[in-house]
Amino acid sequence: MTRQNFPDRQDVISVSSLNRMARDLLEAGIPPAWIGGEISNLTLAASGHAYFSLKDGGAQVRCVMFRHKLSMLPFRPQEGMQVELRGQVTLYEARGEFQISVGEMRSAGLGRLYEAFERLKAKLQAEGLFDNARKRELPAHPAAIGIVTSPAAAALRDVVSTLRRRMPGIPVVLYPAQVQGESSAKQIAEAIRAAGERKEVDALIICRGGGSIEDLWSFNEEIVARAVADCPIPTISGVGHETDFTICDFVADRRAPTPTAAAELVSPNREHLALQLEQTKRALERALGRLLMDKTQQLDFLGHRLLHPGAKLRAQSERLGALSQTLRQRVQTAFEQGRWRLQLASTRLARHQPDLAGQRQSLQQRQAALLRARDRLLERRAQRLAQLASTLTALNPEAVLARGYAIVQKQDGRAVKNPAELADHEKVTLTLAEGRAEARIERPQGAQAQLPF
């Protein structure tokens, strides 16, 4: 019986690790590319993400397009739609499904139009035609409004009906142009230039209804963008529906999601203005009423204050008499208070006046006592000094020397007290009463080491 070779447990990997390795290989090995096919099994989730399959005659692949990418598309993906998409080939690890994470999508056959759109958009943006700094404010109350569109366009009817409903008194001037077809871009540009040269309107609406990218392509032409940028009149672009974007939208001073919205942007609302007027009227009436009441009360107050000159003089005379009486009372009161304070100060001064005679006698007595104390102190100090002088005289070594004695000192200055401290032939110093002398120690043969007394 042969033994089977089983793998080591360290060589076993998990399914998660395997799928992660496969995902890394796919993302690193297959670069993003444009892929064409038909949308099928489309599901728009509540999260806003789109899940679908892209298929052709021989195969299909799962795809996912997340909400933030999906919201930037100029159209809504539909079941059975032929599209071209670009994304990252990857693997959904949780289910081990091969899929494409879609970043861009365009209708099949329109790739060149989208590329042309992006090229022109980047070019004009680099020139500053989209900058907010060059955008102009729309007039709040235009005297006339111009419209660049086809006379047969439904957008024209929508715009005119909206203007008539909101402010029927504003004149409308049509600058006709084809909005679709081979020469439509040139006609639109010429109509915009004509409006700018004639200067008969205060705002210009450039509009047409919705359609495919081919239908709206006239508004993506550079000639139209240049005409809008050079127009001296504030412009509003209302091309297509809310999800449609054209180069004209970016260049115009304002972009409206629809032609009707463009008409609403440029025209004041009659009902709203009437409401504002009524509110202003009521506010003015209230302010005028308050002003009249204030002035009436002020007039009544001034009327009460208006007096006959004689009555005013009498009132002033009475006030003068009262003030005079008050002044006399205050002067009298101040005088009395000053006299009382003076008496009080005199009493305090007399009480605190010093007794000079008594102080002088006390001073003389203390002076005599100090003199007596000084004499006693000097006498005691003299006696003490005499005692100390007597003691000093008795203890003075020079007095002993005067009697014939001498001090014997070694060479280092030490006094000799015992003859045993002296060596033969040693030099010593003798201090006498009247000076010093040098001596040498000599001992007789057999003499003892002591000095005779």
pLDDT digits (tens, 9 = 90+) for 287-299: 888 888 888 788 8
Round the average pLDDT of the chain to a whole number and report it.
85
Confidence of residue 429 (pLDDT cuts 50, 70, 90): confident
What are 440's strand-pairing partners?
427
d(CA 99, CA 27): 11
Task: Work out the percent of the chain whose per-residue pLDDT is above 70.
Answer: 94
* pLDDT (0 to 100) of residue 198: 93
The ranges assigned to domains in the chain are 15-109, 116-266, 401-440
Q: What is the pLDDT of residues 130-153, one digit of tens each?
A: 999 999 999 989 999 999 999 998
> Is domain 15-109 annotated with CATH 2.40.50.140?
yes
Q: Which CATH class is domain 116-266?
A: alpha beta
Least confident of 26-40, 160-174, 428-442: 428-442
* pLDDT (0 to 100) of residue 205: 96
Contacts of 192 (CB under 8 A, 6+ apart): 148, 175, 204, 206, 224, 227, 228, 231, 235
Measured between alpha carbons, how far is residue 383 from residues 175, 373, 387, 388, 396 in Å? Answer: 144, 16, 6, 9, 20
Tell the residue number behind the tokens 């201090």, with chain if given.
431
More confident residue, 136 or 310: 136
More confident residue, 1 or 48: 48
